[in-house]
Structures are given as C-alpha cells and as structure tokens.
Structure 1
C-alpha cells in the first residue's frame, strides 16, 4: 500500500481545535436520568409511599417525634438506594469506557491508536481487515480493500474500493468513499475523515436506533412478577388486618379506631412488599460484570451475565482458541521439484506486506534458507487472484525476466483440482496429506504455471492448469494446560464443539492431543449444505467436530443447537465469526487478536484471549446466579416473621400500640435488610461444587418450589422464635416494651446467622465462615448491624424506638434464641441435603 507523500493526518493541536468545533464522534445517545427524576422514581416505589403516608399520619396524630424519626429513616433508605444506583452507574460507565472502540490514525505524522469518539474531520484513519469503520471519509490509498456495506445498503455482497475513482455515477454509494458502520473484510487503506457523528450516513438513522425498545430478560420478567404478586398479597392483607383491628377496637373513638386500624394494616403491607428485588437484580448484574472485567472478561450487555451460568455448549474455533495461533513451518514436501524452486514459488504466492500468520511463517522460513523478500518479490506484480471462501486458494501473477509466472497456494483439495496430475499421483499426495494432518499439522499445497504472454493469463484462478510443486505443513501447538481446561468443561457439564476451517483430519489430530470427546464423527461444510435445518438439528446432537466451514455454516450450527434447547456460547476472532457470535446466546470475542467487527457482535470480550478465562467467566456467572437465588431466599425468609407477627397480633387481640414491630421498627429492619441484600450476599464466594454440576435449566423459575419451601421453613422458625419470645414476655411480664425489645433483638441476630447459614447450599457454616470473614466488606457490614443494635438499645435512642435496654443475660438469651432459630438448618444440610429439593 502506497502512502501519500508529505504530511499525513493532523497534529494533536489541530485535532483538539477541530473537536471543539465539531464535537465528539458520537451518534444520538440516551442521557442518564437526572438526580431529581431518580429521586421521584424511588419515591414512587410502594414501600416508600407507605412510609411517607405513615409518617404523615404520625404528624396528624400529634406525634411529631415518631413522624420525624420515620422521615429520618425514610431519608436514610432513599439515600442507600440512590447511593447504590450511583455506584451502579459508575460501574456501568467504567465498563463502557473499557469497551469504547478504538481506531488507528495518523497523528503528528505517526501511527497511533485513539478512541473512535475522538475522531475529527481531517483525521486519517488506517483500515485493516476486521476494522469497523467509525466515520465517513474519502479513500486516499488502498490495497485490495474490500468492505461490507450491508448495514447501509442491505446488499450482502462486499464492495471493492479504489482511491481516486470517478464516483459520478448513478449509484448513491461511492467506490472511493468509506462509510461509518461498515466493516473491512479484506485488504487495507488510508481514509481521510469528512463526516462524524450524526452527520454520517449511519448517524442519520441513529435516532431511530436509540429509540428501539429493549425487551426485558427472563430474570427481569420473573422479578417483576414476584413483586407484582407480593404487592397484591400486601394489599389484600392490609385490608384484612385493618378490618380485624377495627373489630377488636370497638371501645375506641371512631378516629382513633380508624387510625390504629390503618397503622396495623400498613405495618403488615410494609412487611410483605419485597422492594429489594429490583435492587438485587441491578446490583448483582452490574457488580458481577465489574468483577468479570477485573478477571479479563468484558461484559458488553449486562443481561448476558445471568446467561453465563446456564451455558451448556461451548463452540470454539481451533486456531487461536485451542491452539497458540503461532504458526511455524514444521515440514516441506517438494513434489519432484527442487527445494529452491519450491520455496521461491511459495514465497511469491504470499503478500509482501502481510498480516496472515501462515504467510509470516512462510516468509520467515524462506529467510532462514537464504531467500529474502528482495529475492522472492523480484520482478513486477502484474495481477493477483484474491483468496475467497469459495475457492480457498490465491495466486500472484509475476513478470520475471522473459516469462510470466503464476504462483498459487491454498488448500490441497483446491490446488489439486486445478493441477496437471494423474489419479495415481493424486492418491499418493492424498496419503501424504492424511499422514501430516493426522499429526495435527495444517497443510497447504503449492503450484505454479508459466506463461509466455499476458493474453494467456486465465481470468479466474479456477481456469489455471498448475504444475503441482508440493506441500508445506504448519504446526500450531495446543495452548498450555488446554487439556486440563477441556476436562474442567466436561466436569461442569459443558459440551465442547470444535468448528474450524481446517480439514477434519487436522482437527481430529488436535482433538486427540487435547483430550476432546469426538464421538468418532466429523462433519464438513459441504455435508452441512446438504442438510435441512431439522436434519442438522439431529446431527449436532452427536457431532463434535465440524471442518471446512464458512460463516454461514457456523451460524447454522449455532442455530441448530439453540433449536435443541441448548444454551450456546460461541468464541471467535474474525469477521467470518460475527454472524455466529451474534446468533449465539453468549458471543465471546477475543480482545487482543479479535477483529473490531467480532468484538462488536459479541456479548463478552476476553481481554487476554485465554481459554481458561472463558471457564472462569462461566464459573462467576454461576456464582452470580446462585447469589441472586440466595438473595431471593433471604428476602422471602426475613419478611415472613415480620409479616406473620403483624398478621397474628390482631387475631390475638393485641393492641396496635403493643405490636412486636411498629412501622418505625420495620423501617429499621429494612435498613438492615437492604445492605445485606445488595452488599453482603452479592459478595458471597462460590460453592465448592459449582463447576462439578450440570448447567441450570433456564425454564426453572427464579423462585422454585424447593426454594419457596426452604424460605417458608426458615421464616417460620424465625417467627416462632421471635414472636414466641415476645408473646411470653408480653403475657408474663406485662411489659410490651421489653417484649418488643427481646423479639426484635432475636430477629436482628437471626438475620446475621441467616446469612452465614445460607452462604452455602451444601457446605456447613463451620467450613464457610472463615472465607466469609476474610472479606472485609462482609465483616464491616455485619459489624455495623451489631453496633446499630447496641446504639439503639443502650443510648437515649431507645426512647424514640419504644424499646428498653436489655440486661446482659437478656441480651445473651436473645442471641442464643436467634442462633437456634437459624442453625437448626445445618442439621438439614448435614443429613437431608441430597433428599430435599431445597435449591
């Protein structure tokens, strides 16, 4: 590729001035809601509406102290929600910054990489294969530049671009111009930016794109249904308890009777609304994505985090994923020709400025044998046959001294098909190819044709009649420890499918080296073409190696697996992987060697291109989903004793003033529950058996029968312990303040023990407590809970909360009862965990 002479591109100073004039290279973007709008959204939550109504009633009753305390705690809860939302926004912003596309440009007369949003008119972009073009511009120079413009034109056929071509034709789209949103599929070029952002052709449709409605994920839908159901139950319970309290207070005046009945009902309603669900969903997914980013896995779409733990099939490319993608020449096999002639033709069939690892390996091998680029590329390059997926070969036409030479290389099948060989010779060559491929080597064939004049040059490479020169075998060794990672996949119930453009024998050789299950069957792309979709769905159930595939084949394989109910993860790094990455449930692109378009199509980007990182990501995806379920279990469990105590009190004809939990105490409990949900449970470590079990069934509801049964069982025991103690003290001591303090203290202690016990579904708390308390945040959160309890009980604040200080024996008794109300479940885990459906 020939560069323009003189100054190329802008200086940094010029770029800064132009950005002030034209702004950022951004399409129409959705702005984040303002602080005021976020505050309104929080206040519209059912729980906060109830709290504000309750505070208002206290002021109306002439009890400004209780009303003020209620408002203080409402403000604290709102602050926690807004702070958590701010942290989530910061996390998402950081993730967005990590995933910002970059482009190579000329700045200060040298090549550098900048974020695409910093492009300005006048910049000179450098395009390579796989680049997603971020701005409109005129082509300055090019080399075999081919661009897929289907995102704009709707035409699947790629367009060849040529600099300085006369573009005054009937077509709207210019051949000497490149457009934002299109992708380079072949070649390279220099483009001077003319339009950015909304002024580009792609930007003109940006407004429509930004208004596209994103469907909620299954997890979001399930959470919404849970909240909706609980709200209906809360409304019904509110009416029932208000009615029962009204009937029990016949001796009170009408207004007192009405207000006390309303307070009893609203207390129960507050206890039944699990407003923590949306917080759990948002925080767990965003923080999970942030943790994955620190492990070199960049999540582009948050909802994909919940899908990671359900992956049942992992489709991987052989080259670069299972192997090191470091091609070296292992062996050359000249066919009745001199080695020198073989290598000269082989080198002449390569690009002089190449990025292809196999061509780099060829040129390095030639260099070692005394054939420098000056020797190989001596002469005039007349024309070339470009490589395509259909032909699977390429060729260069050279004018060397008094003759024309066609130097061609490609897949052995393709080169042999246009070579002048008899059947016996072809059989001999096929045997050699099979023996090389069986060793896991990748094989190319080399041929040449000598011509006397230009008129004899065939129009297409398929029309050539080559002299077959020989074979060259490359080795791309498996990645270190890949065998161990493959076995780790199988332990986790994840099936591995190899999809490669190589021939099946080479693929099988690599599969044998890494210990991959093959089932003895290999399917080629040609065989896929002969199958209907229903037939392919049957085939993918038992074939684990697909060879000689093109992009359409990869996409059909992924779609067939999905049609069978599999959750499919697909890895890829090239432009040809983009359709399959987009079709998969989880598209995984390589961050280092991956093309821009593959990264754009993917849900997840591996920043270190490491296969083991994929499994670490799946493992963390399972941990995130496990912890979401643990949070749901915790929320339901902790609300049961709160709700039942409010429901049972009117039935026992307990005065509303003597309830175990008044509205202000429920607010206090929420201040404990919210951080526990959004901070402590999100940080729980993974289960020891997390990668030794099958992937989860995505059709299983978030709140399964087993989980609901477990929540009810644990909640009932906590209710019996707290309300039972409260009621006994209330009856025998006739002191509602002491009774309330004992009951609430038991609930606070039980809350801490509940987190410890439910931190693992199988392991005993004695085994997990050490890892829990190694986490500084968990230690601090639990410590703050205990400190809050002590401050409320042993400072004048107990008067505001209508509590009394407990003696040391009473405090230890409440601690003991709280522990018993939760730790009984350790016995269930120890003896019956494998028999009861508790997960």
Structure 2
C-alpha cells in the first residue's frame, strides 16, 4: 500500500464539492426503468391479479357489490404484498451493493485517503498499483515501472508500459494495472470516460436466469397453462348445465385461482435476496444472487495456502548463505555475509513494500543496518514478478551512478540462470530440502552487475551471482484443522493450490491434518497433461504447488469437467481467470486485489476461511428451506384444487362450496406461511453431514414430488370427509362450508409444523428456534375465529358458527390428514440407524 504522497497536495474538500457539482459522481448512469412503473406492469401481467380483476368485474355486473369490493380489496392487498416483498428484496440487494462498491486511493489535503470510487472527482490525484482496477480516466504524473492491461477497450491482451513521458500517458476507466504503481490526475469520470462513451451497450444486457430459476418458472408456466385449460373445460361444462354465463365464469375462475401457485416465484426471489442479506451480516458479501443457490452444492473447495490456511505473518526465520554453505537462524547478531544476503533480498523487494515477506525483509534490514541507504537510491528499472517458476528483479541507482541489481524468487528460477557449479547446486538443493521440510517458505536471492542503460528485454538474460536463500515461517491458523473436518464431514473435498514449493506445502498440510497430503503436482507437470490425464490427476491429487494462472485455470476446468461444483478462493491478479471460471469464486476482502474482487462472486470481508463453511451451511439452509416452502405450496394447493373441483365435477349437493372470495382468502393465509416462516427456519442438525446436492437434476426428485402429492391428497381426503360428514348430518351449505374451510386451515397449520423437517420428528422441530411460527399461527387462528364467530364476517363469507364438537372434529380431521407423515419420518430414521 502507498505510504507517501510524493509531495502532492491534491484537492481540498471545497474543491472536491465544486468538482462534483460540475462533473457529477463517478458512476456510469444509463437509461433506468421507472421502478414503480415496472412493478405496476409486472402486477398487471400476474395471472392471479388478472383473475381477481375478472372475478371483481363479474361480481359488480351481477350486483354482488360486497363480494366485488372484497375482490377489489384483495387486488390491492396482493399488490401491497408484492410491493412489500419486492422492496424487501431490493433493499437487501441495495445494502449488498453498498458493500461491493470498489474503493480507490487518492491524495487530498496532502494526505493519502481511501474513498469509494463513485466519490472520485475530476482533478483528484488517483494512486493505483498492481492489481488495481482503474476507476476513472486520468493523466500520469508519476509512475514506477507501470504497465496497464487495456484489453477491455482495445482488445489487445498484452500489457502497455506507460509513464508521464509516453506518447499516450493516459489511463482509462475499466482497465487494470498489470505491474508497478502510478499517480494520475483524474480528467474524466462516469459517462465522460472512454468506457462511458462505449457503455451504452450495457443497457441491453439482461441477467441470465439460473437453472433453478428456469425450472421454477417452467413449473409455474405449466400450472398457468393447466389452469387455463381447466378454466375453459369447467366453464363449458357449467354453461352446458345452467346456461348462466356469469355463474359459470365465477365457478371456473374459482378453480383457476386454486391452481395457480403464484407464491412460488415470490418465495424464490425472497429466499435468494434475504439469503444474500443474511450472508452479508455474517461478513460474506454476495455479488451475484445466483451464488446463494449454488453454495449448498459445492463439492470441491480449492484454496490458497498463504494467508488463507496460514496467518500470512511471514516472519524472516532462517538464512542460507551459499558462500558459507550453512543454515542459520535469523538474529540481530548476523555476520557480514548474512547481513549482505538480507540487504540484497531487501533491494530485490518493492521500495514501498506491501507483501508480508517484503515487509519482513525491509524490517530486518532496518534492524541490521544503522546507516540506511534507501533514501539515496531510486529505482530506474523493474522486471515484475514473472516466469515459470517466478522471479523478479529491481535495478536501483544513486546520484554517483552506483548501481544495485537484485533479484529474488523461486530457487529453481534463480539457480537456472546463476553461475553455480554442480556441487554448489547440490548444496543449495540439500539446504532448501532441509528448510522446507520444516514448513518454511523459501526465496532465493541473487545479484548481477550490468553497465549501460540498454537493459535486456528479460531479467533472465542478466548474469546472476547466487547469494543464498531466505526462509520465512507462516504458521497455520488455529481454526484450520477443525474447519477441514467440517468440510470433510459435509462431503466436500479440499484442494490446496499454491505458488509455494511442494516440501513447504506438504509440511503445513501434515500439520493441519490435511487429507492425502503425500502426493502433489506442480504447475509445469499439469500444463503438459492432456485433458483426460488432467481430469484423472485432479481427482486423485489434493496438493498443487508452483502454480501459475494457466495451471490454476486448468485445474478448475478439469474439476468442472469431472462434474464437480467448484469453489475457489483467491486474492491476487493471477487468480482472476480461475475465480471467474469457478462456480463460486471467493475473493479476500482485506488482502484481495480489485481484480480478484471483480472476478469473484463472493467476498470474505475478514479473509477468514471459516466464513466459507458458514456460507456453505447457509447455502444448504436456504436451498432446503426453499424446497420446504415449495413442497408446502404444492401440498396445500392440491386440496384447494380438488375441494373446488370434485363437488363441481361430480354434481354434489353443494357444488359451489368455495367461491373466489374463499380461495383468495386461503391464498392470502398461505403466502406469508411459505415466504416468511420457512425462510426464517434454522438449519437442520444434519445439514452439514450430508453429501452436497447434485446440480444436474431437477429441483425435486420424484420421491419428493410424490411426498407433496400424497400429503395433498391426504388433506383432500380430510376436507372431503368433513364435507360428507356435514352433508350426511343434514347441515346446510353455510355450515358445511365452515367445516370444510376450518378443516383445511387446521391441516394447513399442522402441515406447516410437520414439514419443518422431512426427517426429524415434530417433537424435535418444535425445539427449533423460529419466533415467526407462533406469531403466524396465532394470527391465522385469530382470523379464523373472527370469520366463524363474528357475525359480520360470518355472513359475508357465507359461514356458520361451529359448535365445540364440530370445531374439535375439524381440527382432529385436519391433524390426522397431516400427522401420518410422522410415521414415514420415523421409518426413515429407523432405516438410517440400522
């Protein structure tokens, strides 16, 4: 991170306000739809709203003003619920947007400040470094070996080197810093940038629906078609019997209303948006709502080692000086050769370090040398980290022309280009093996001499003198062993993908109890494998070392080809392609580069991998609860459909047992149950002990769908039993309707409780903490009591007062029609424990 302002003052607060007033915020703003108008259009297209409008119109035409007004009120209520749910989801997503807004570094009032990119104004001094996404157009005023990837604008994938003397000394919004650092004066923001000029195409981009969303929409469309067909059949049959068009329309509308499962898409959107919001409160920012759906099905987690599994402390611990051929512990009483090794390693680091190892080297240099040379030298050329394995080289020079050329990187890289004998190479390899077996991370250090200013195109062309090796210890985080066990119990494989060497990685892996830590593969080995060999290799191997972007991407793609659902953590520029390719890309919030955050679909704000276990658990919970909600909707819709249809089709004594008024009232009771109660359900005890779900199948298995259908048929049997019981006892239509309606409501309440789990008993789930359960049930009971025992409501709904014995019978029938499933769950538990 930047530690100096290069003598620049930047804008004052007053100048910032004036620039913002003149040029606006740094946001790309295009044509926006009127949210209210869009919501109104959406409501107007809703089949249920259209049916309610038709029913209200028929009631008005037939002179039944009370029912017509109730249906009109129902339209308003349905619209209000839709608006509430839409706002609830929108507000949750807006809060997520605030957290995912990128930040940038500027110089203002002579101080370095971090601000949101949208607050950037024309005239600001913007500071960018390797891994940053450039948020505005600007002119370079200071740079250090600065290069930019402008492929977003030009299509050219090669990085372009720039400084203030360059012919094109401008930086552009949306491009990324490939290497070095720079300070640029902002010249354009928002729509006035080059990206803004070509960004109109963004208006026409539509979000692609997920597989689950498509399945749900397909199911709802099928039910709409079924409803339309049944509507026409019932309309025709009734009209042929009575020749009364309005009455026939009302009866067919009632059935069509009972068929439409309009709660399902609402439940899906609500669950995903609120799930994202819940994850946000846990410190996990979800950039794409569809990620919530995928989380619970992750089968493989690919994680970096440094800073993810380890603490990223990188304390300088051991030294190996080639000239002495010995390994020593680092201490402040180092001899001249050891001090020289650390000095060279420091000069090979960034002058303003932000990598933990480089910070540690600068600190060690400060402790060992009383006289600090650093202010006297300036970097005149840099070869950024590159190559396979990687290395980097820095060239510094002072006013007298004295030059320091220092390099550090993977030992294999520096040994290959250094002037060392076979015996020296053997000694170096033995020392590295001894150090890495103890879990230390090693960097080789070398120096070169070069006269003249025409530096070679690549750093490998220098004639290096191998100085030695510096070793760092990065202890594993204390929670990692328990976290790995959590993943293993959940049926999730964990793979380490690191740039470190095999010996160090295996040592750390053994220490944390990592499975199958014996075998490993390097990046070079992977890139030479064909697709078939690679797919077999990634299935068997859990440790991948000396990785580079291409190799990482190959691993992710091979795992996906094996049918795995892949989650990948990353923080660097080089992780971008793999993060983008993974089903769930996870960037680190603190140490992650903007490139990594842009490519990822999840951001762990505290860089804590244990949060990922929480995210997987939350993903499984959301998916399970959504499934419970939709199974509930299917189960409860079946008795409504059949209770309306069977008396009508079979010509029973009271064929019009439910009117549109009753059906819409039942819908209003059921809606909150599925979208509020089930969304708030806690995870079940076995949630993280089950295998990840398959993403290739349908949302419901035939077994799950059969369960919902059987539950619906059982409740139908209960309501029709109440119907026939009332008829056989000579009850009139109002009393019969009251008994059928009460039985259905009682079954609805018990179904809500029973379906909280399809495995654990109701006695177990009653202990689950969900404060909305008693509240919603109480509200439902109070409403039914008002309908049955307050005359004004009883008359309006054409009900009759139920006696105590009649009420008890209805509750008992509703209970029996649902509670049988507890026996099925008991059998499941018996089979599992055998």
Q: Normalized against structure 1, the TM-score is what?
A: 0.93
| Structure 1 residue 200: Cα displacement | 1.1
C-alpha distance in 2 between matches for 1:504 and 1:203: 46
For 1:194, which of 187, 194, 215 is the aligned residue?
A: 187
Q: Structure 1 residues 675 and 458 mapped into 2: Cα distance closer, same or farther (>3 Å)?
A: closer
Which stretch has the larger CA shift, 401-410 or 759-768? Answer: 401-410
For 2:794, which of 794, 798, 803 is the aligned residue?
A: 798
For 2:274, which of 280, 287, 290 is the aligned residue?
A: 287
- Confirm or deny that 1:777 pairs with 2:764: no
| Structure 1 residue 7: Cα displacement | 5.6
On the 8 A contact 2:682/2:770 being kept in 1, the answer is no
C-alpha distance in 2 between matches for 1:507 and 1:264: 72
C-alpha distance in 1 between matches for 2:602 and 2:188: 30
Q: Structure 1 residues 373 and 291 mapped into 2: Cα distance closer, same or farther (>3 Å)?
A: farther
Within 5 Å, which residues of 2 pair with 1:58-69? 58-69=59-70
C-alpha distance in 2 between matches for 1:629 and 1:381: 60
For 2:218, which of 225, 238, 247 is the aligned residue?
A: 225
Which stretch has the larger CA shift, 379-388 or 222-231? Answer: 379-388
- 1:725-778 alpha-carbon deviations (Å, 9 max, x no partner): 12210232231111111111111121111111111121111111122xx43333
Q: Structure 1 residues 72 and 739 mapped into 2: Cα distance closer, same or farther (>3 Å)?
A: same
C-alpha distance in 2 between matches for 1:742 and 1:386: 80
- 1:387-441 alpha-carbon deviations (Å, 9 max, x no partner): 3234622334456889654333221112212223221221121111112112221
Q: Which residue of 2 aligns with 1:171?
A: none
Q: Which residue of 1 aligns with 2:255?
A: 268
C-alpha distance in 2 between matches for 1:519 and 1:356: 27
C-alpha distance in 1 between matches for 2:550 and 2:364: 34
Q: SS of the counterpart of 1:245? A: helix
Q: SS of the counterpart of 2:146? A: strand
Q: SS of the counterpart of 1:321? A: coil
C-alpha distance in 2 between matches for 1:421 and 1:136: 48
Which stretch has the larger CA shift, 454-463 or 805-814? Answer: 454-463
- 1:93-119 alpha-carbon deviations (Å, 9 max, x no partner): 111112111111122332212221122
Q: Structure 1 residues 185 and 457 mapped into 2: Cα distance closer, same or farther (>3 Å)?
A: closer
Q: Structure 1 residues 371 and 548 mapped into 2: Cα distance closer, same or farther (>3 Å)?
A: same
- 1:764-816 alpha-carbon deviations (Å, 9 max, x no partner): 11111122xx4333332222111211122222211110011222332233222
- Confirm or deny that 1:366 pairs with 2:362: no
Q: Which residue of 1 aligns with 2:810?
A: 814
Q: SS of the counterpart of 1:537? A: helix
Within 5 Å, which residues of 2 pair with 1:474-489? 474-489=472-487
C-alpha distance in 2 between matches for 1:664 and 1:682: 27
Which stretch has the larger CA shift, 28-37 or 149-158? Answer: 28-37
Within 5 Å, which residues of 2 pair with 1:263-342? 263-337=250-324, 338-342=337-341
C-alpha distance in 1 between matches for 2:3 and 2:535: 49
| Structure 1 residue 375: Cα displacement | 4.2
Within 5 Å, which residues of 2 pair with 1:226-625? 226-246=219-239, 249=241, 252=242, 254-255=243-244, 258-337=245-324, 338-368=337-367, 370-371=368-369, 374-375=372-373, 383-390=381-388, 392-397=390-395, 404-449=403-448, 453-454=451-452, 460-518=458-516, 520-625=518-623
C-alpha distance in 1 between matches for 2:657 and 2:250: 13
Q: Structure 1 residues 70 and 345 mapped into 2: Cα distance closer, same or farther (>3 Å)?
A: closer
On the 8 A contact 1:69/1:800 being kept in 2, the answer is no
Q: SS of the counterpart of 2:372? A: helix
C-alpha distance in 2 between matches for 1:834 and 1:214: 46
5+ residue gaps, structure 2: 325-336
On the 8 A contact 2:347/2:404 being kept in 1, the answer is no
Q: Which residue of 2 aligns with 1:52?
A: 53
- 1:698-717 alpha-carbon deviations (Å, 9 max, x no partner): 12211321111101111111
For 2:709, which of 698, 712, 726 is the aligned residue?
A: 712
Q: SS of the counterpart of 1:467? A: strand
- Confirm or deny that 1:748 pairs with 2:749: no
On the 8 A contact 2:390/2:409 being kept in 1, the answer is yes
Within 5 Å, which residues of 2 pair with 1:677-716? 677-716=674-713
Runs of 4+ in 1 over 6 A off after TM superposition: 1-6, 400-403, 455-459
5+ residue gaps, structure 1: 168-173
Q: Structure 1 residues 621 and 703 mapped into 2: Cα distance closer, same or farther (>3 Å)?
A: same
On the 8 A contact 1:348/1:377 being kept in 2, the answer is no
On the 8 A contact 2:648/2:656 being kept in 1, the answer is no
On the 8 A contact 1:28/1:207 being kept in 2, the answer is no
Tell me the matched-pair count: 817
C-alpha distance in 2 between matches for 1:491 and 1:260: 60
Q: What root-mean-square deviation, in Å, do the aligned CA atoms of Structure 1 and Structure 2 show?
A: 2.3
C-alpha distance in 2 between matches for 1:302 and 1:399: 52
Q: Which residue of 1 aligns with 2:329?
A: none
Q: Which residue of 1 aligns with 2:824?
A: 828
Q: Structure 1 residues 50 and 514 mapped into 2: Cα distance closer, same or farther (>3 Å)?
A: same
| Structure 1 residue 460: Cα displacement | 4.3
- 1:291-319 alpha-carbon deviations (Å, 9 max, x no partner): 01001111111111111111111111111
C-alpha distance in 2 between matches for 1:221 and 1:633: 17
Q: Normalized against structure 2, the TM-score is what?
A: 0.94
Q: SS of the counterpart of 1:202? A: helix
| Structure 1 residue 360: Cα displacement | 0.8
On the 8 A contact 2:491/2:691 being kept in 1, the answer is yes
On the 8 A contact 1:403/1:450 being kept in 2, the answer is no
On the 8 A contact 2:179/2:384 being kept in 1, the answer is no
| Structure 1 residue 15: Cα displacement | 1.5
C-alpha distance in 2 between matches for 1:179 and 1:756: 58
| Structure 1 residue 340: Cα displacement | 2.8
Q: SS of the counterpart of 1:31? A: coil
On the 8 A contact 1:511/1:518 being kept in 2, the answer is no
